[in-house]
Amino acid sequence: MGSKESFILMNLLLLLGTFSGLILRGSPRICSYVSSAFTALAAVCGLFLSGNILSTGKAFSFNLPGLIPWVDFAFFLDNVAAFFLLIISLLTLAISIYSIGYNEEHYHKRDVGLLCIGINLFILSMIGVVTANSAMIFLIFWETMTLVSYFLVVYEYEKEESVSAGFIYILMAHAGTAFILTAFLLLYRHSGSLDFTAFRTSAGDLPGGLKDLLFVFFFIGFGIKAGIVPLHIWLPKAHPAAPSNVSALMSGVMIKVAVYGLIRMVMDVLGGGSMWWGGVILVVASVSAVFGILYALVENDIKKLLAYSSIENIGIILMGVGASMVFSSVGLHGPALIALTAGLLHALNHALFKGLLFLSAGSVVYSSHARNIEELGGLIKKMPWTALFFLTGAVSICGLPPFNGFVSEWFTFQGLLMGFGALEGGSKVFLPMVAIVLCLSSALAAACFVKAFGITFLAMPRSEHARHALEVPLFMRLGMGILAVLCLLLGVLPQYILGPIGNVASTLIHAEVYVGINGVSSDLFTLAPLKLNLSSFSPQGVFLLLLTLMGGLLLILGIPYKKTVLGETWGCGIPALLPKMEYTATAFSKPFMIIFRDIYDITEDVEKIASPTPLQPHFVRITRYRASVGHIFDRYFYELILQAVMAVSSRMQVIQTGSMHLYLLYIFVTLIVLLFWAR
């Protein structure tokens, strides 16, 4: 089956999924099963198609000229689009299998058909964005993606939180679309056509100032959707409010589609630019990485924590992209290739482990109906598989070997540190500084996920919700399992994906450079090492060594399930430990709250409620501690913008007098001025 057939089949299957959602709305179970089956089949087609293009390297064009007048449906799948299609398909496969079980939660409360329609249309629009070859098509699918995801975010419309989250989301998304639209219109004016190939050929003679303006507009427009700081405020509200399979899609795929837009427009179409572009991206990426994880550390809502962590990882992806742009601007194509490979690999890895984490969090919420981790605990005994999958996702996202997060972080370090040797002057230290920021954010992520995993799954249940949790149905476990296995596989055997990613990167930086990264296996524990300028690393070798040592340990000491006596945890003499005595999530992150108190605008309140009986009015019975973290971006960035807008508007109110005669005079004067100006 050729590329054209699989492309048509994939889109057809998604449309069938949408229609089955529409037609079978009456019986939720059948609707969910049939629709998810279509989505899964479409994902398989997508995998096949992207694998085909990535391995053969043959780009594929598809045009539907006559469908709507004046709109040319031009699609173009080169290896860049195919790579992002691979990300979309992998996650769609896992999420659609997961949805078969997950949608049960909504069977009797809401319309499951709408959820199925929404998911299929969402995926279809994302595929459209990634494969579009014309500004018109790109914007049509981009807007569809935003609108459909808005409806999915407000799916649980009876909750106040969902509705307000949806409002902020659609507001900011449209602000972003406005920037992208303006940039496209500027390019259209310069090149005369809306086609991306026309943009690309005419970008050579863009005046410098216009090119810089275009970069700024594209960066802001795509950055809002990707969730860079300070334009991220919608992300922690919208991603948790949506149903968990949608959250996984949004956080795992949609923000990568925004990164695709940025990379495609700035690196491919505009052809890269001055060094300060990369510098700006690096600064924004570093700030996003640190602030994202700092806010995740103090968050107790499990889905909000994951949303903030997505902001951190977008920062890491953009570190690779920014470093690549810095290198390309001075003509160093080898390091540029490595840095961009790092960014793209991290995009793939993040989609996998963030999808896995959101699906596991969704399973936790499905069983226990609680999102606050302070109410959970002890779930590892009731939900062992979910706990294992969450642990896999948590270890991967912290970048710990032997999982996939480590490989992409290693590459990002290599790309950034090459800047020391390759660049000159002050920028010599700039890139290693970004590497240190990456290390800081990675270490903070480890703290965050120890908290998330430990408080949610370990020790004793802290509330009734957690006590009655049960393991989730088979399909949900299957969906999570696929992603968990992929996380381990890509961590141990990354070389199979590194070749295609290298090709994608060299397409984007417009340079036919081949950086041989596969070294020679020298011995048993140095299998197929990845060899770069500064160092080499053999994922299989390390994994093999770990297994050998573990095997040796087990042989000598035996498996850890013998000669143990079970007893109660030491509680300083108290006979039985209560869940109230366990460590809480707020307490776990309190040291960070104290150390970074200038960043977290903290308001603390300690209330001592004395005994209610009049006989003992001075003995404190209840102490209530309340701490809330303010958001400095709300206070120093958005408030200022709002105040400025309000100030300007109230100044301009002077012209609104209400007098019809004055308004007619305005029209007359404007007409005269325009007639003189257009002469």
Partner 1 sequence: MDPISFFTQLACLLLGAPLLQGFIKKIKSRLQGKRGPSVLQPYYDIWKLFRKDSVLSEHASWVFRFAPYGVFMFTLTAALFVPLYSLKAPMAHAGDCILVVYLLGMARFLQAAAALDTGSAFGGMGSSREMTIGSFAEPALFMALFAVGLHFNSLNLNEMVSGVSQGGAAHVSFFNVLLFVGFFVVLIAETGRIPVDNPSTHLELTMVHEAMLLEYSGSYLALIEWSKAVKQFMFFSLMANVFLPIAVLEGSPATLSSLGIFSLKLVILGYITAWVETLNAKLRLFRVPNLLLFSMGCSFLAMLSIIFVR
Residue 591 as a binder of partner 1 (CB under 8 A): the answer is yes
DSSP class of 451: H
Cα dihedral across residues 481, 483, 486, 491: positive or negative: negative
Given 64, 68, 185, 439, the residue binding partner 1 (CB under 8 A): 439
Q: Which stretch binds partner 1 (CB under 8 A): 11-19, 20-28, 267-275, 451-459?
A: 451-459
In angstroms, how far is the first alpha carbon of the chain from the final one?
60
Give, as one character, the DSSP assignment of residue 301.
B
Distances (CA, A) of 409 to 346, 376, 412, 487, 539: 7, 31, 5, 14, 13
Residue 633 corresponds to which tokens in the numbers above? 């971006």
For partner 1, give the closer residue by CB, 217 or 413.
413
Residue 454 interacts with partner 1 (CB under 8 A): yes or no: yes
> Which span sits near partner 1 by CB under 8 A: 83-91, 232-240, 354-362, 433-441?
433-441
Selected from 525, 633, 637, 638, the binder of partner 1 by CB under 8 A is: 525
Per the CB < 8 A criterion, the answer to whether 82 and 50 are in contact is yes
Q: Which of 345, 346, 360 is closest to 306 using CA atoms?
A: 360
Of 92-100, 136-144, 527-535, 611-619, the segment contacting partner 1 by CB under 8 A is: 527-535
**With binding defined as CB under 8 A, does residue 292 bind partner 1?**
no
Least Cβ distance, residue 361 to partner 1 (angstroms): 17
455 is a site residue for partner 1 (CB under 8 A): yes
Binding window for partner 1 (CB under 8 A); candidates: 6-14, 227-235, 427-435, 493-501 = 427-435
Which is closer to partner 1, CB of 31 or CB of 407?
407
Residue 604 pairs in a beta bridge with 627
Minimum CB distance to partner 1, residue 533 (Å):
8
Q: Which of 38, 122, 588, 600 binds partner 1 (CB under 8 A)?
A: 588
Q: Find out whether 275 and 330 touch, Cβ atoms under 8 Å.
A: yes
**Cis geometry, peptide bond prior to residue 69 (ω within 30 degrees of 0):** no
Q: Is 403 exposed, middle or buried (0-12, 13-18, 19+ CB in 10 A)?
A: buried
Which stretch in 3-11, 234-242, 455-463, 493-501 sits in contact with partner 1 by CB under 8 A? Answer: 455-463
574 contacts partner 1 (rule: CB under 8 A): no
Which one among 568, 598, 605, 607 touches partner 1, defined by CB under 8 A?
568
- Quick one: which of 378, 379, 381, 349 has its CA closest to 364? 379
Task: Say whether residue 315 binds partner 1 (CB under 8 A).
Answer: no
Interaction of residue 646 with partner 1, rule CB under 8 A: no
- Please report which helix (H) or strand (E) contains residue 49, including its range: helix 28-56
Return the closest-CA partner of residue 537 out of 441, 421, 409: 409
d(CA 597, CA 350): 29
Among 8, 23, 64, 450, the residue binding partner 1 under the rule CB under 8 A is 450
* Distance separating alpha carbons of residues 241 and 154, to the nearest angstrom: 7
Residue 561 in the binding site for partner 1 (CB under 8 A): yes
Q: Judged by CB under 8 A, which of 247, 309, 349, 442 binds partner 1? A: 442
Bridge-based pairing of strands 602-610 and 620-629 is: antiparallel
For 2, list phi and psi in degrees, rounded to 5: -75, 180
**Cα torsion angle, 166, 168, 174, 180, sign:** negative
Nearer Cβ to partner 1, position 623 or 656? 623
Q: Per-residue contact track with partner 1, 458 to 487, x per CB under 8 A? A: xxx---------------------------
Query: What are the start-end ranges of the H helices in 298-426?
Result: 302-329, 333-368, 379-382, 384-397, 404-422
- Within positions 204 to 243, which residues make up the interface with partner 1, using CB under 8 A? none
Cβ neighbours for 674, distance < 8 A, ≥ 6 positions apart: none
Tell whether residue 162 is a contact of partner 1 (CB under 8 A).
no
Q: Considering beta carbons, is residue 581 or 620 the nearer one to partner 1?
A: 581
Which of 447, 488, 489, 511 binds partner 1 (CB under 8 A)? It is: 447
Question: Per-residue string for binding with partner 1, 374-413, x by CB under 8 A?
Answer: ----x-xx-----x---x---x--xxxx----x--xx--x
Which of 184, 389, 430, 453 is in the footprint of partner 1 by CB under 8 A?
453
CB of 389 to partner 1, least distance (A): 14
Q: Residue 663: what residue type? A: Y
Which among 185, 189, 255, 190 is positioned nearest to 217, based on CA atoms? 185
Radius of gyration of the chain (CA): 27
Q: Which residues contact 282 (CB under 8 A, 6 or more apart)?
A: 318, 319, 322, 323, 326, 430, 431, 434
Give the number of residues in contact with partner 1, rule: CB under 8 A: 87
Q: Which stretch binds partner 1 (CB under 8 A): 20-28, 94-102, 225-233, 566-574?
A: 566-574
Dihedral (Cα; 407, 409, 411, 415), 10-degree rounding: 180
Angle between helix axes 404-422 and 474-492 (nearest 10 degrees) is 30
**CB of residue 362 vs partner 1: minimum separation in angstroms?**
21
Least distance between partner 1 and beta carbon 293 (Å):
10
CB of 330 or CB of 459, closer to partner 1:
459
Q: Is 334 in the site for partner 1 (CB under 8 A)?
A: no
Q: Which of residues 531-550 bind partner 1 (CB under 8 A)?
A: 531, 533-538, 541-542, 545-546, 549-550
- In the complex, minimum distance from the CB of residue 571 to partner 1, in angstroms, rounded to a whole number: 7
Based on the number of CB atoms within 10 Å of its own CB, is 48 exposed (0-12), middle (13-18) or buried (19 or more)? Answer: middle
Q: How many CA atoms lie within 13 A of 606 on its CB side?
A: 2
Cβ at position 341, least distance to partner 1 in Å: 16
353 contributes a contact to partner 1 by CB under 8 A:
no
Nearest distance, CB of residue 46 and partner 1, angstroms: 33
22-51 residues near partner 1, rule: CB under 8 A: none
d(C-alpha 560, C-alpha 555), whole Å? 11
* Nearer of residues 192 and 571 to partner 1, judged by Cβ: 571
Nearer to partner 1 by C-beta: 287 or 458? 458
CA distance 110 to 99: 15
Q: How far is the CB of 622 from partner 1 (least distance, A)?
A: 19
Kindly identify the residues of this chain, within the stretch 494-523, that bind partner 1 according to CB under 8 A: 519, 522-523
Answer for which of 420, 633, 637, 638 binds partner 1 (CB under 8 A) is 420
Amino acid at 156: E
Between CA 640 and CA 646, with CA 642 as vertex, the angle to 5 degrees is 115
Candidates 36-44, 170-178, 420-428, 494-502: pick the segment binding partner 1 (CB under 8 A): 420-428
One of 30, 470, 524, 669 touching partner 1 (CB under 8 A) = 524
Q: Which is nearer to partner 1, 256 or 346 (CB)?
A: 346
**Cβ(95)–Cβ(115) below 8 Å:** no
- 573 sits near partner 1 (criterion: CB under 8 A): no
Confirm if 442 and 399 have CB atoms less than 8 A apart. Answer: yes
Is 627 a binding residue for partner 1 by CB under 8 A? The answer is no
Closest distance to partner 1 from the beta carbon of 405 (Å): 10
